[in-house]
């Protein structure tokens, strides 16, 4: 999952906790192996070889459900949440510490756009060769939700799953008390907000995990698929929802919506907090 992950469980017996954790971890590892963009042997790599060739293929039901969700996010975000935009990482190589070539970005923009893909379940067709998809903005949160369900099915009623800061609550502490989860401030070595959760999920998106600073300007990894450049209004967004996959997509879409992000978040009715690049803080969690 490209980040530190943990599963915390309460159980009456050690073997029960170990069995539930093993189920959860095995499924997380399965999804990592299946949808990782870093593995040449992943199912996603197979899809992207098809995309590069301008071909078509049938996908399995699980992948179809992920594509359906990504398509819903694409439509509800006005085309900003776009799983074909991962190709921009060819230009934005943050480890190099410099800005990408403008012509390279322009060339990649021609290969971005979910509307250019023909998705008629179970068939995924790429009329334009050279495209690719990246499910990284969906799978980690989906994995957290699934891991929590597997633990519940294994008889665990109290615990949480934390995949790189994307959190799904299995249930409160045995005494009914909430899990206290800190939200990191994107510019300070400090906690922005602490929330108490007994159920549901929380996910965050921000410009602080992968970024470069050039000329006193921070360029983060949340990239606008229409311009090819990082968002520049919000520094971080955290959202609380029933499901981690919903919280994750909502936080990312808010980042992508830039100045309209806070208004859009309010329209969802989900608890949230945001920090803009000038240090302003807002959201329903601050009330």
Mean pLDDT score across all residues of the chain: 95
Dihedral of CA atoms 214, 218, 224, 225 in degrees, nearest 10, equals 40
pLDDT tens sequence across 224-258: 999 999 999 999 999 999 999 999 999 999 999 99
Q: Do domains 43-133 and 178-286 have the same CATH topology?
A: no
Q: Please count the CA atoms within 13 angstroms of the CA of 130 that sit on its side-chain side.
A: 10
The pTM for the full model equals 0.95
The residue ranges of every structural domain in the chain are: 43-133, 178-286
In this predicted model, which residue has the larger pLDDT, 59 or 213?
A: 59
**Homologous superfamily in CATH for domain 178-286:** ApbE-like domains (3.10.520.10)
Contact 166, 140 (CB under 8 A): yes
The one-character DSSP state at 11 is -
H or E stretch covering 32: helix 14-35
Contact 18, 169 (CB under 8 A): no
Among candidate residues 277, 279, 272, the one with its CA nearest the CA of residue 230: 277
pLDDT tens sequence across 132-165: 999 989 999 999 999 999 999 999 999 999 999 9
Which CATH number does 43-133 carry? Answer: 1.10.3980.10
| DSSP string over 137-178 | HHHHHHHHHHHHHHHHHTT--EEEEEETTEEEEEE--TTSPP
pLDDT band (50, 70, 90) for residue 182: very high
pLDDT tens sequence across 189-216: 899 999 999 999 999 999 887 889 998 8
Query: What distance, in Å, lies between the first and last C-alpha atoms of the chain?
Result: 33
């Amino acid at each position: 999952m490209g980040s530190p992950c943990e599963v915390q469980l309460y159980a009456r017996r050690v073997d029960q906790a170990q069995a539930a954790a093993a189920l959860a971890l095995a499924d997380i590892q399965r999804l990592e192996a299946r949808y990782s963009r870093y593995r040449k042997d992943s199912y996603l790599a197979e899809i992207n070889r098809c995309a590069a060739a301008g071909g078509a293929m049938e996908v399995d039901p699980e992948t179809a459900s992920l594509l359906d969700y990504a398509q819903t996010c694409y439509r509800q975000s006005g085309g900003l949440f776009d799983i074909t935009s991962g190709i921009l990482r060819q230009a934005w190589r943050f480890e190099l510490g410099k800005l990408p070539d403008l012509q390279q970005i322009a060339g990649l923009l021609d290969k971005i756009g979910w509307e250019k893909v023909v998705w008629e379940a179970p068939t995924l067709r790429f009329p334009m060769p050279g495209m690719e998809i990246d499910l990284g903005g969906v799978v980690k949160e989906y994995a957290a939700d699934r891991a929590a369900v597997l633990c519940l099915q294994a008889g665990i009623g109290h615990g949480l799953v934390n995949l790189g800061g994307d959190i799904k609550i299995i249930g409160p502490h045995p005494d009914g008390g909430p899990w206290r989860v800190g939200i990191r401030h994107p510019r300070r070595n400090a906690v922005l907000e602490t929330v108490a959760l007994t159920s549901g999920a929380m996910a965050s998106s921000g410009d602080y995990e992968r970024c470069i600073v050039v000329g006193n300007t921070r360029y983060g990894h949340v990239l606008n698929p229409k311009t090819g450049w990082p968002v520049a209004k919000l520094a971080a967004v955290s959202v609380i929802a029933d499901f981690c996959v919903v919280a994750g997509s909502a936080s990312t879409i808010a980042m992508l919506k830039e100045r309209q992000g806070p208004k859009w978040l309010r329209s969802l009715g989900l608890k949230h907090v945001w920090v803009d690049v000038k240090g302003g803080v807002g959201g329903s969690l601050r009330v």
